[in-house]
């Protein structure tokens, strides 16, 4: 089964197989070296990195800029006692434990319910209070942090995600990654959790990446573990029917992260809450390149277009930047 959308012509590279570097450049694909040298090193001041490399710092900065984020229940700056941990988690039915400086979705423990004294994960497996204490200790020791340095622990409220994604997610909360360059959203994808990814919206762990048309919020292409898919592997729902509600508000939230972070090239991870709407999960100064595979489009051409703009063209507010991106980077209307 395959769905056909008039938005994209998927080049051979994105359907799998080997292709030469010259062909990749012609397709507008951005490689890691070019990303690091031309965009991260040139547009991201290193003194701004702590804002995004530490999720607690990101949350505090977002609050200053009135950008909505999931509620913070507790934060442990140092190794807490067993008594202190139990004081926090004992009354809770649902929560998420994260390392403040983790990367790639590592170290995130999602709890969706209780079964007696045990805590239930999205997969249905159970962990004990002692398991949670050990997990918190591992986070503090730096097991999941960038560079293996001692880390801080965050306990957040579990997002009550919008039911529009019920059929496109399994055992977890899907999120939307938006790449923002010089304040302009340039590409987006939805990451749908699966059984393989243990309820986490992380492509490296088996989540599905769904390319999203910037103009409409509709799905255009989907991949899992680098291979194209047309339906969710667990729910069997076709991605051709998928459309993100409140799309312009979500893209506007991502664009506003440019002012919040001061970073010229960043990735914004956003979730849709049932009541609160779009919430910023985190921002990333070194966003990965798999978003190109999810969309079936190279990123480099879009970045070069923004680079070619004059200073006068760049001096736009959030709404103007969003309108420009939604218009200019709209998917083609014909094959």
Tell me the residue range of the domain where 137 lies. 71-156
- Give the pLDDT confidence of 255-299 residue by residue, as tens digits: 999 999 999 999 999 999 999 999 999 999 999 998 998 998 899
* Domain end call among 156, 175, 203: 156
Q: Which of 282, 54, 276 is nearest to 159 (CA)?
A: 276
Does residue 174 sit in the same domain as residue 306?
yes
Q: What is the CATH number for 258?
A: 3.30.470.20
Q: What is the CATH number for 136?
A: 3.30.1490
Taking the C-alpha atoms of residue 149 and residue 137, their distance in angstroms, rounded to an integer, is 13
Does residue 170 sit in the same domain as residue 312?
yes
Does residue 90 sit in the same domain as residue 231?
no
Phi, psi at 227, each rounded to 5°: -115, 140
What's the structural domain count of the chain? Answer: 2
Helix (H, G, I), strand (E, B) or coil at 63: helix
- Give the pLDDT confidence of 85-114 residue by residue, as tens digits: 889 999 999 999 999 998 777 899 999 999
Q: What's the predicted TM-score (pTM) here?
A: 0.87
- Give the pLDDT confidence of 48-74 residue by residue, as tens digits: 999 999 999 999 999 999 999 999 999
* Domain end call among 117, 139, 156: 156
């Amino acid at each position: 089964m395959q769905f056909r959308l008039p938005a994209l012509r998927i080049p051979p590279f994105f359907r799998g197989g080997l292709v030469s570097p010259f062909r990749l450049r012609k397709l507008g694909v951005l490689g890691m070296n070019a990303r690091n040298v031309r965009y991260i090193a040139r547009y991201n001041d290193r003194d701004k990195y702590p804002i995004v490399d530490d999720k607690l710092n990101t949350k505090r900065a977002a609050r200053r800029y009135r950008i909505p984020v999931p509620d913070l229940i507790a934060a442990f700056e140092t190794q807490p006692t067993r008594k202190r941990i139990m004081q926090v988690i004992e009354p809770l039915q649902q929560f998420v434990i994260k390392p403040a400086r983790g990367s790639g979705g590592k170290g995130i423990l999602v709890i969706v319910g209780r079964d007696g004294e045990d805590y239930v994960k999205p997969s249905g497996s159970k962990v004990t209070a002692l398991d949670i204490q050990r997990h918190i200790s591992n986070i503090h020791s730096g097991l999941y942090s960038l560079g293996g340095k001692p880390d801080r622990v965050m306990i957040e409220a579990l997002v009550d995600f919008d039911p529009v994604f019920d059929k496109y997610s399994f055992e977890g909360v899907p999120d939307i990654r938006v790449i923002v360059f010089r304040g302009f959203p340039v590409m987006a994808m939805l990451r749908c959790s699966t059984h393989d990814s243990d309820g986490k919206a992380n492509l490296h762990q088996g989540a599905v990446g769904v390319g999203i048309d910037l103009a409409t919020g509709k799905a255009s292409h989907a991949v899992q573990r680098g291979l194209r898919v047309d339906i969710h592997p667990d729910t069997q729902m076709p991605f051709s029917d998928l459309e993100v509600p409140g799309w312009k508000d979500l893209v506007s939230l991502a664009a506003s992260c440019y002012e919040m972070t001061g970073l010229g090239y960043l990735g914004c991870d956003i979730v849709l809450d049932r009541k609160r709407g779009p919430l910023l999960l985190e921002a990333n100064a070194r966003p990965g390149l798999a978003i190109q595979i999810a969309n079936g489009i190279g990123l480099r051409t879009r970045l070069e277009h923004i680079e070619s703009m004059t200073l006068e063209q760049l001096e736009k507010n959030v709404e103007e930047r969003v309108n420009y991106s939604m218009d200019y980077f709209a998917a083609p209307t014909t094959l």
